[in-house]
Amino acid sequence: MHDRVTLITGAAKGIGRGIARVFAAEGATLVIADIDAEVGEATAAELARGGGAVEFVPVDVTSQASCAAAVESVLERHGRVDTLISNAGIYPQAFLAEMTEADWDRIFAINVKGMFFMVKAVAPGMRERKHGRIVLTSSVTGPVTGYPGWAHYGATKAAMLGFMRSAAIEVAQEGVTINAVMPGNILTEGMEGMGQAYIDALAASIPMKKLGTPEDIGYAMLFLASDEASYITGQTIVIDGGQLLPEGAGAVE
């Protein structure tokens, strides 16, 4: 990734920050994009102390103009975007009986429209240069599994994969790939907020008996962003410690 210009949305914290750490360690010219400027600037400063080229740009992924402006600022400084990691997303719990139209619209605006706006902004330059890597942060929840309270979240993560498969075909002949990583349960600040009992119950259902780290997601994305993955497009990688493997609870001891 040496000097590859890599733009990561939602990279101020959580999975995004773990992805950013991995790419920074591999020498990427890293641009952290997030709506939280204070935390985003702090994350960029932390990673830059390791000697990498890291900067922050503000972005509100629900706004197409904001996404376009963020990408334009990167192009003005670096001339290109080699890799887009479309990671910005939210996962608020809302049970079906209480879920409102506003709940539904907000999560789709961030998780799905935000992804579309960012891909739309970087794709022309990638197609013109005949090279580009786009990696999406989807989830096992929605495309493969479900969990009470996250029907709207699961719908967004499944929608991302539907978008990916058709979009990947459109840009395939121009050297641009679009793939996705599907995290299982990852230990982030948000997960820690669910409480230790919740975390322990999840870990018990995973063959590896532990939750993943944000960096685990970053390593998979690093491969998909590499030249070695140039013949892979429209595909997904599940990173879940084997959580989807058991036929039932009795298979995990």
Catalytic residue list: 153
Please classify residue 80 by burial: count the beta carbons closer than 10 Å to its beta carbon, then call 0-12 exposed, 13-18 middle and 19+ buried: middle
Please state, in angstroms and as integers, the Cα–Cα distance from residue 110 to each residue in 93, 141, 217, following that order: 15, 17, 20
Please classify residue 107 by burial: count the beta carbons closer than 10 Å to its beta carbon, then call 0-12 exposed, 13-18 middle and 19+ buried: buried
Distance of CA 146 to the CA centre of its chain: 19
DSSP annotation string for 59-80: --TT-HHHHHHHHHHHHHHHS-
- Taking the CB of residue 92, how many other CB atoms lie within 10 A of it? 13
